[in-house]
Amino acid sequence: MRQTKDDAELDDFGRFSEPALLILVSLAEEPRHGYSMTEDIEAIAGVRLGPGTLYGALARLEARGLIEALKSEDRRNPYRLTTLGERALRARLDSMMAVARTGQRRLANA
Amino acid sequence: MNWLLQLYPARWRDRYGEEFGAVLASQRASVGLVLDVLGGAIDAHLYPQIQHSHSKPIKEEDTMTLLMLQRCSAGGPKLSPRDQRIASLVMIFSGLVMASLYIGLTKIYHSAPAVQALFYASFPALALIYGETAYLRKRPWLTQVFILGGGLSGLYLFMLAVCVIASKL
């Protein structure tokens, strides 16, 4: 996949790459807390993230400034996408779409 | 199941423990869940993201400070392998240029303070060149020239002053 500067923010996530992308997609709609994210991700991608995977990815995203925690009265901290996170998500989705379009076109010509 | 939280580092638990516990409690106990939490605990020990992260929820003014810091530090200390390779190549090339220059000048001016200063300045200069090439690479070229040129000139002048004083003693 061709990378842009914004897209590179999602590099070095290792096995947390896919969960991190799913979290960003989930937060693109509205701020959510951990449980709400797992429910939403299961609904959109059919994958139920375990808490170990979810928080491994969340910690990485937060450390890179792609998401941020909001204040909360109860123990469930909601998170929201930062401007940097939104840019990184857009860039990654754009490059994924470009690959998907190329794949579809080639399959159609095969 | 909350006992599994004890497997995580203390700092990690301080930051994520409560909300992690809430998510953990909402899931049905299974071998897969235990393995997932174990994997997460190992990862949290091996790659403690928490030290780079915020220990408290971000406030508006914190976000502004963070954005300003990110602007000032040209992306911060996170270097891509490509940045590191380029900085290393520039450093090696600069080392060769400085060594050739030193050998050439020694043949002509022997051990004049200006030549000795070049020798002593070359070691810290290489570290400066590496650091500044790596971190300033994405900055405008004028900024790079100004900061790198200024740093190297300052370093050379300092070494020259030391060598001149030493030659008079």
Model pLDDT for residues B57-87, shown as the tens digit of each residue: 555 556 666 666 665 654 455 667 777 788 8
Alpha-carbon B75 to chain mean position: 10
**What are the φ and ψ backbone dihedral angles of A80, each rounded to 5 degrees?**
-135, 160
* ipTM for this prediction: 0.81
- List residues of chain A with CB under 8 Å from any CB of chain B: 8, 11, 33-35, 38, 50-56, 58-60, 62-63, 65, 68-72, 75-77, 82
In A, minimum Cα distance to B29 occurs at: A50
Q: Residue A41 pLDDT > 50, yes or no?
A: yes
Asked if B159 and B121 count as a contact pair (C-beta separation under 8 A), the reply is: yes
Q: Is A2 left (phi over 0), alpha (psi -120 to 50) or beta?
A: beta
Asked if B90 and B129 count as a contact pair (C-beta separation under 8 A), the reply is: yes
B131-158: pLDDT as tens digits: 887 777 777 777 888 888 888 999 999 9
pLDDT value for B53: 46
Q: Which of B23, B52, B57 sits opposite A54 (nearest CB)?
A: B23
Question: B38 CA to chain A: closest CA distance, Å?
Answer: 7
Percent of chain B residues past pLDDT 70, beyond the cut: 82
pLDDT value for B29: 85
pLDDT value for B75: 47
Model-wide pTM > 0.80: no
Question: B40 CA to chain A: closest CA distance, Å?
Answer: 4
B74 to chain A: which residues are within 8 Å by CB?
none
What value does the mean pLDDT of chain B take? 81
Asked if A27 and A67 count as a contact pair (C-beta separation under 8 A), the reply is: yes
- List residues of chain B with CB under 8 Å from any CB of chain A: 12, 15-16, 18-24, 26-27, 32-33, 36-41, 43-44, 49-50, 52-54, 57-59, 63, 66, 70, 80
CB-based burial, A73-108: b 16+ in 10 Å, e otherwise: eeebbbbbbbebbbbbbebbeebeeeeeeeeeeeee
In A, minimum Cα distance to B30 occurs at: A50
Average pLDDT over residues B5-10: 87
Residue reference for tokens 């900055």: B139
CB pairs under 8 A between A and B: 87
Q: Residue B54 pLDDT > 60, yes or no?
A: no
* Confidence grade of residue A76 (pLDDT, cut at 50, 70, 90): confident
Q: Is A87 helix (H, G, I), strand (E, B) or coil?
A: helix
